Amino acid sequence: MIDIAVQAVLSNRKGKTFRLDAALCSKARRIVLFGASGSGKSLTMQATAGLLHPAGGHVIINGRTLFDAQKDICVSPRDRRIGYVPQDFALFPHMSALHNTAFALTGWTGRLSDTARRAARALLARFEVDHLADALPSQMSGGQRQRVALARALAAEPQLLLLDEPFSALDPLLRARMRVEIRSLLDEWNIPVMTVTHDPEDIAAFGDEVMLYRKGRIFAALDAAPLLAGGNIAAALLDAMKEYDA
């Protein structure tokens, strides 16, 4: 059960303000936050991970309160157990795939224990990139980096996984393939996944429920199945949006 409400007012350097007031409550295992860029999806995700401090609202994941403005609760991101994979994966550029994956399993000096090494190797193997254990991110392809980034996030055993525009950094041909592959890999893990995207195709792979964003608000929560039934997700989405405009 994911219960999130975030209120925040952000202003950029030009003094233009953006008001975020998004609320979602869902039992779905795979949730997609869908909307144009700048509609507040990524901000919702950052607030969930604890990287952004909202002025109001709450974040409750599986009954555990991570943030509550009224009760003055704000769990720090390091204790939230929320996996976060940013848009271009943000692998640590100076660490090998193995060290990246083992990061959550190492102590404060970053020294790799034998247990951590074994666990990280096993994770890399599950994502089929164990042959890259010693490679630096700069030596990997986009798809390989994505696999390592997922392995790194899952090593921390999160209770929720956040994917920020997971395929936008990949070239279009690779994108379609990775979508299918990552989906089936993540199905092996029984954790909820929240995906931010503006690509309708991502809904097919990562959405049981779709939250539609506009100007900082979620104006509709839709079941994904009917959208996918017709075969043309983009058209089905446009139709659904028109209904709300009327």
Partner 1 sequence: MSSLFADLSLFPILLSLKVAGVGTLTALLLALAAARLQARRTSFTARILDGLCTLPMVLPPTVMGYYLILLLGKRGFLGAALANLGIELMFSWQGAVIAATVVIFPLTYKAARAALESVDVRYEQVARTLGASEAKIFLTISLPLAWRGILAGSMLAFARGMGEFGATLMIAGNIPYKTQTLSLAIYDAFQAGNDDEALGLVLLASALCLTVLMSAEWFIGSWGNGHD
| Binding region for partner 1 (CB under 8 A) out of 24-32, 34-42, 49-57, 215-223 | 49-57
Give yes or no for residue 74 binding partner 1 (CB under 8 A): no
Task: Please choose, from the candidates 26, 19, 35, the residue with its C-alpha nearest in 3D space to the C-alpha of residue 4.
Answer: 26
Q: Is residue 175 involved in binding partner 1 (CB under 8 A)?
A: no
Our finding on whether 153 is near partner 1 (CB under 8 A) is yes
- Applying CB under 8 A, among 10, 69, 135, 136 the residue interacting with partner 1 is 136
Angle CA(216)–CA(210)–CA(2) in degrees, nearest 5?
A: 80
Do 15 and 76 contact (CB within 8 A), yes or no? no
82 sits near partner 1 (criterion: CB under 8 A): yes
Is residue 80 near partner 1 by the rule CB under 8 A? yes
User: Sheet harboring 193-197: ordered strands across?
Assistant: 82-85, 160-164, 193-197, 30-34, 209-214, 217-223
From the list 24-32, 75-83, 170-178, 213-221, the region that binds partner 1 by CB under 8 A is: 75-83
The mark string for 89-128 relative to partner 1 (x by CB under 8 A, - otherwise) is -x-xxx--------xx-xxxxx------------------
**Judged by CB under 8 A, which stretch of 19-27, 55-63, 84-92, 215-223 contacts partner 1?**
84-92
Cα dihedral 57, 18, 82, 185 sign: positive
CA 174, 178, 183: angle at the middle one, nearest 5? 165
Helix or strand or coil: residue 155?
Answer: helix
Cβ atoms 120, 132 nearer than 8 A = no
Binding site for partner 1 (CB under 8 A): 49-51, 76-84, 86, 90, 92-94, 103-104, 106-110, 136, 138, 152-153, 155-156
